[in-house]
Amino acid sequence: MIHINGETKIVGLLGWTVKHSLNPIMQNAAFQHLKLNWAYIPLPTAPESIKNGVRSLQTFNFIGANVIAPHQQAIMRYLDEISPLAQSIGVVNTIVIRDGIVYGYNTERYGFLQTLADSQFNLEGSRCLVLGAGGAARSVVFSLASSGAKTISVYNRTIEHAAFLVDDLQSTFSHVQFSFNPLTAKRLIDIKDTVDLIVNTTPLGMSPDVDSSPWPEDISLGKAMVCDLVYNPLQTRFLRQAQAEGLKTIDGVGMVVHQGAKAYEIWTGQSPPTDLMRMAVLAKL
């Protein structure tokens, strides 16, 4: 049980909505395990209130916060300083406040690459398909491009968003062959046998919408490894589709745990209890 007093250091979660997130459970378990007088609280923040949300963190002396959809790009204009990595990716998911100055960081790249490493997927020369074009997709595409991927295709229901993402990053990674397309059944049929890794960055399949999937049931996933960033539920419909075809899958727990562990390290300056954080998440799924 969390006991908050006048000396408790507070960290928050800015998002809309935040009720599905297991970040509070994971981070509070880590704080309690190491006997830190810290607390992590969800802060539901509507898109039109994100500027006030950042200022409130300063006003109430928060140590920092995590930032989730839909704020990870919009929040950047309200920060005082942004790390070079977060600036390059175009996404901030972790905030630290020191002496009234608000700093922005990206820990999603670390979280995603650690997840692939845990699954022993070799990115060198790989052909990748990313479903979605939001903040998480930007972190994933940047991670893939900066770590050896040969080709990256971005498919999104709104093709303009996929185009913007590719246009923003392709000049930085001229050695990578980028493409974008609408997320339609026809396009998925055309590409399914030409990729080694498929990553879902959309919220499709997230609780309570557990019956949805970004991939049509009547289209094979080819021979790719399949990764879903959705972690609640642990086994999404998309992952079950892949498993039914005998494909290796990666659930979203690794991503949320590793990015959270890196954020914990940034806030506290201590080594995170990553295994305990993972167990705290799994216990709630």
CA–CA separation, 46 and 224 (whole Å): 37
On whether residue 114 sits in a domain, the answer given is no
Q: How confident is the model at residue 2 (pLDDT cuts 50, 70, 90)?
A: confident
> Do 81 and 145 fall into the same domain?
no
Which residue carries 């992952």 as its tokens? 239
Does one domain contain both 145 and 239? yes
Residue 3 is assigned to a structural domain of this protein: no
Residue 219 lies inside a defined structural domain of this protein: yes
CATH number where 81 lies: 3.40.50.10860
8 A C-beta contact, residue 67 and residue 93: yes
CATH of the domain at 125: 3.40.50.720
Domain of 225 in residue numbering reads as 120-247
55 shares a domain with 96 = yes
In residues, how long is the chain?
285
Tokens of 175: 């050695």
Give CA torsion, residues 20, 101, 2, 24, to 10 deg: 20
So what's the pLDDT on residue 3? 83
pLDDT at 164 over 90: yes
Give the pLDDT of residue 29: 97
Asked if the structure places residue 112 within a domain, the reply is: no
| Encoded amino acid at 161, one letter | H
Domain contains 189: yes
Question: Would residue 35 count as lying in a domain?
Answer: yes
C-alpha angle 202-206-207 in degrees, rounded to nearest 5 = 160
- Chain centroid offset of residue 261 CA: 13
